[in-house]
Structure 1
Amino acid sequence: MRGKIFRDRREAGRELAGLLGDYRSRDGVIVLGLPRGGVPVAFEVARALDAPLEVFTVRKIGVPGHEELAMGAVASGGVVVTNYQVVEAVGVPHDQFDLVVAREKAELTRRERLYRGPRPAPDLFRKTVLLVDDGLATGATMRATVSAVREFGPERIVVAIPTAPSSACREISALVDEVVCVDTPHHFSAVGQSYEVFDQTSDDEVRDLLEQAVLPDLSDDVDYGGEG
């Protein structure tokens, strides 16, 4: 069974928002999109719920020479999450780990300045945080994001995604207060299988969506600047 197919991230966001009605117009709710692909989805969710939209940037700390293997992550606010099992298993020296962390922090800072400009990072203390991405595959990035967000003392963390394997949802649900997912395909191979259009979202698109989100009056015919 192939599962549900969304036309694009915008449509996925609107369908996801339909499952999050309990959070509409509630005080203390903030929508955090994971850049880059999660931001168009989060934009639709935030607009439907009448909630503020922000980004929460996470950078994987890859093992030198095997960057696809995560030994941790750095996230918005300077939070560092370390996977000690991986660090010890591959024997990465402390100074080398710190070097990779410094590099990823620099890239994270660059992206946040690009996305947010002069606006300060959002205050998540005692807030209901809706973490939105365009889907989960292994859930590794989301697990790092949840760990980082928890450092800021939110009252409630909700992971909201359009598509994910049921196994990833079960793993994430053990870490947060609620997981909301539109579809869990029986045969899941990649997030992109659930979309007709799954173009890469650009930094410019992320920035434009965030700028639109802070406008006082947001019309229903907003130009998102593309499908990605």
Structure 2
Amino acid sequence: MFKDRNHAGQMLADRLAAGRYGEDVRLLAVPRGGVVVAAPIARRLNCSLGLLITRKIGHPLNPEVAVGAVMPDGSAVWDQSLLDRSGIDQTELSPVLREEYAEIKRRLLTYTGSDKPPAVKNRSVILIDDGIATGYTARAAVQWLKKLSPVEITIAVPVAPPDVVKLLAKEVNAVICPVQPELFRAVGMYYEDFSQTPDEAVLAILSEVNRNKA
């Protein structure tokens, strides 16, 4: 159990600081909660912090179930087998895709002032979030990230199901996840304080850790 996202980030920072990551590594956090987790890591490794924002496309009858994910460039990754089983055509979800892409751009502009993709070519990347449940959007994000030609990708999250960790480990160079409950519940169940992170907190963290950083 983590006290809060900052506590979880400190635990991850301990793990990552013991590795071979240096100042040339590129940290990419999934806002908003992932930014709070990433802050202690950025301070410990003395490196800049960027964002990778994806948005889930929920099933029309059960929005909590992901049938796809929108990437930062507006492209989408679909769970085609689930769409087929549900009798859903991708075109039916086009309005949702456009809406979620607009939200990605809004958040990027709000947080960074730019909607350009992160510069990660020929760099090591650590992708950070406050937890992973199904791993679908994380896998989609990794697929998109690989198109930007990083040298390697590490996923660092405080908590995730062990089967999801194993699945993600096949997609990236390493997965750092200190808590892997066999009987996984919702991510928030593993935090004493899992309150929503406001935009103002994200902006403050980005401003602080990126000050005087390339």
2: distance between equivalents of 1:118 and 1:135?
Answer: 26
| Distance change in 2, residues 1:69/1:49 (3 Å) | same
Tell me whether 1:170 sits opposite 2:162 in the alignment. no
Tell me whether 1:20 sits opposite 2:20 in the alignment. no
2: distance between equivalents of 1:49 and 1:78?
Answer: 31
1: distance between equivalents of 2:187 and 2:156?
Answer: 14
2: distance between equivalents of 1:162 and 1:63?
Answer: 27
AA partner of residue 164 (structure 2): A
AA partner of residue 76 (structure 2): V
1: distance between equivalents of 2:147 and 2:83?
Answer: 21
| Distance change in 2, residues 1:24/1:156 (3 Å) | closer
Tell me whether 1:68 sits opposite 2:64 in the alignment. yes
AA partner of residue 167 (structure 1): D
Counterpart for residue 226 of structure 1 = none
1:134 shift after superposition: 1.1
Residue ranges of structure 1 left out of the alignment (5+ in a row): 218-228
1:195 shift after superposition: 1.7
Tell me whether 1:100 sits opposite 2:111 in the alignment. no
> Structure 1 length normalisation: TM-score?
0.84
Deviations along 1:134-192, one digit per CA (max 9) or x if unpaired, are 11222222122212212222221111111222122111111111011122234431222
Counterpart for residue 27 of structure 2 = 31
Aligned to 1:67, what secondary structure does the other structure show? strand
| Distance change in 2, residues 1:123/1:79 (3 Å) | farther
2: distance between equivalents of 1:80 and 1:46?
Answer: 29
1: distance between equivalents of 2:6 and 2:212?
Answer: 21
2: distance between equivalents of 1:123 and 1:191?
Answer: 29
Aligned 8 A contact 1:32 1:55 in 2: yes
Question: Which moves more between the two structures, 182-191 or 11-20?
Answer: 182-191
Q: RMSD in angstroms over aligned alpha carbons? A: 1.9
> Structure 2 length normalisation: TM-score?
0.90
Count of equivalent residues? 212
Deviations along 1:2-24, one digit per CA (max 9) or x if unpaired, are xxx22211111111011112244
